[in-house]
Amino acid sequence: MERRTALFVDFDNIFGALCNLSPEAAEAFIAEPGVWLEWMARRVGVRSNEVPSSGEAPPRRILLRRCYLNPNGSLVLPSGERVFFGSFRSNLVLAGFQVTDCPPLTRGGKTSADMVLVMDVLDALGHATRFDEFVLMSSDADFTPVLQRLRAHDRRTSVVAIGNAAEAYQAAADEVIGSEDFLKGALGGLQAYSSAAQEQRSASSGTRKMTAGSSAQDGAVDPSEVREAILSAVLEELEQSPSPLHLGPLGNRLRARLGQQVLSTSYGGAGSLTRLLATAGDPRIQCISGGGAGGAWVYDPSRHKIEIKGLSPAEEGASL
């Protein structure tokens, strides 16, 4: 009994809200979308009548994944660096998203993302696949009318709301995933994210730098040292595992083990864990693409047989 789910992401909105809350969390969000997709697929629903007698909630199958972004949009980080949303497209596509460009339509920079998202949601009501659940990701509270329309069609609704919008959605949605739940559960569970969420509530100046470079208290960190530490930890796990490693949970374990330096150096300068492993140049570390929410796996050809359902035998190499 799986929930057939359609996911709609208001990217500019959600990414900007994450940057305001914790730039490091925003980096984790776009670096490895497969991590939070997998977390969402496994997350237990809040309705008691959805939980069978075994005590396990039905998992989600995120069949439709739509993301709406302004390809020319950008954001200036607290460090002064400007990041452009268009550069994130490849990461989203690799995670199975259909990316819809929503450039500005007015001199003020207003895009049509909200309108296009709502039209696609309503179109999905008539899809040949009857979606059991619709999930919206946005920090705006102006999607309440479409949530009410979905409820009238007897569809379950969930909202990932970063910031104050969570309260506005409580009555309109069946499930609301707030900032702290998403930071802790979906983005690796780093204590730094939780601390940043606390700082955001008390003072808007509590943001941190997202890109390469560590915090003042940690001192300078050499990205090459972080890279070697990550690869060493991956090789250690490969030696101990009888089967290939799923990149989503592996990324969580690496960030918990090695700490903030993983994200502060952007995976040793590689930009993402997937790209780091694909360019490692070690024959014991090979990546392959996979079906489902997770995205990819890593394995040692000398030890592991590729027998995972949904995987492609072709190595992704530098294309990851």
For residues 70 and 204, the model is more confident at 70
Write down the pLDDT at residue 306: 67
Least trusted range by pLDDT, from 27-36, 201-210, 266-275? 201-210
Q: Are 68 and 113 in contact (CB under 8 A)?
A: yes
Mean pLDDT of 166-175: 80
Write down the pLDDT at residue 188: 64
State pLDDT tens for residues 141-154. Answer: 788 899 999 999 99
Taking 50 as the threshold, does the pLDDT of residue 49 lie above it?
Answer: no
For residues 126 and 217, the model is more confident at 126
State pLDDT tens for residues 178-193. Answer: 888 888 888 765 444 4
Taking 80 as the threshold, does the pLDDT of residue 113 lie above it?
Answer: yes
Write down the pLDDT at residue 271: 73
For residues 227 and 154, the model is more confident at 154
Q: Which range has highest mean pLDDT (123-137, 215-229, 276-290)?
A: 123-137
For residues 82 and 5, the model is more confident at 5
Q: How far is CA 38 from CA 2, 260, 302, 308, in A?
A: 14, 22, 28, 16
Write down the pLDDT at residue 317: 33
pTM of the complete model beyond 0.85: no
State pLDDT tens for residues 270-311. Answer: 777 887 888 888 888 988 765 444 457 888 888 887 654 444
Taking 80 as the threshold, does the pLDDT of residue 226 lie above it?
Answer: yes
Mean pLDDT of 244-254: 81
Confidence bin at 265 (pLDDT 50/70/90): confident
Write down the pLDDT at residue 54: 46
State pLDDT tens for residues 71-97. Answer: 888 877 666 667 788 888 888 999 999
Write down the pLDDT at residue 191: 42
Average predicted confidence (pLDDT) for the chain: 77
